[in-house]
């Protein structure tokens, strides 16, 4: 099954990582979309490193990142610098969506 | 319908009211994120419910 995780705060980095790894270990796919203050976690290598996990796809809202002045240097190439279109796709494709 | 509510930052007046009302017609489970047990068990809960609500 597919789990969508909308990350719109920077308060639950450990939970983003823990839930993603647990889901993958159980054979699920995970789609992560980061926006608003959740984009502050783009500076957290434990979070961005999830993009290297098999079965995980990640995107972030470029508009939010620009508004927050977040540098895109060092963000893994596997992360899609995207838009709310990616959020819509996640909600369409995922069997369950949680917000952190 | 089986509905799971995940309280990211603990209960609020609004979440308590809505969960209380919803419980009259549905099978509702509430998990506080800080008291979740293991991440693996939370994943199982998420996929074993029909709907998941994050607060």
Nearest CA in chain B to A7: B54
Other residues' Cβ atoms within 10 Å of the Cβ of residue A25: 13
Up-side HSE of residue A55: CA atoms within 13 Å toward CB? 15
Which one of B43, B52, B54 has the shortest CB-CB distance to A28? B43
Residue of A10, A15, A53 best to disrupt the B interface, most CBs of B under 10 A: A15
Whether B42 and chain A come into contact, CB under 8 Å, resolves to yes
pLDDT of A67 reads 86
Q: Which residues pair with A5 in a beta bridge?
A: A32, A98
**Structure-derived torsion over alpha carbons of residues A97, A99, B5, B8, reported in degrees to the nearest 10:** 150
The CATH homologous superfamily to which domain A2-99 belongs is DsrEFH-like (3.40.1260.10)
Residues contacting B42, CB < 8 A, separation 6+: A19, A22, B6, B31, B36
Sorted by where each begins, the domain ranges of chain A are 2-99
Q: Is the pLDDT of residue A72 over 90?
A: no
Task: Say if the Cβ atoms of A26 and B6 lie within 8 Å.
Answer: no
pLDDT tens figures, A22-55: 999 999 999 999 999 999 999 999 999 999 999 9
pLDDT tens figures, B1-55: 899 999 999 999 899 989 999 998 898 999 999 988 999 999 999 999 998 999 9
Q: Is the pLDDT of residue A5 over 90?
A: yes
Q: Is the distance from CB of A39 to CB of A60 less than 8 angstroms?
A: yes
d(CA B47, CA A63): 32
């Amino acid at each position: 099954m597919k789990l969508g995780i909308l990350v719109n705060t920077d308060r639950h980095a450990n939970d983003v990582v823990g839930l993603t790894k647990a889901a993958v270990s159980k054979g699920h796919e995970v789609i992560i979309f980061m926006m608003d203050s959740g984009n502050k976690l783009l500076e957290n290598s434990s979070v961005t490193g999830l993009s290297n996990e098999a079965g995980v796809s990640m995107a972030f809202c470029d508009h939010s990142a620009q508004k927050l002045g977040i540098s895109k240097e060092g963000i893994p190439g596997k992360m899609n610098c995207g838009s709310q279109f990616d959020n819509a796709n996640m909600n369409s494709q995922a069997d369950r969506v949680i917000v952190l | 319908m089986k509905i799971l509510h995940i309280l990211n930052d603990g209960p609020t007046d609004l979440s308590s009211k809505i969960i209380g009302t919803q419980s009259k017609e549905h099978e509702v489970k509430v998990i506080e994120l800080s008291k979740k047990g293991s991440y693996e068990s939370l994943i199982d809960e998420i996929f074993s419910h029909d709907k998941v609500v994050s607060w």
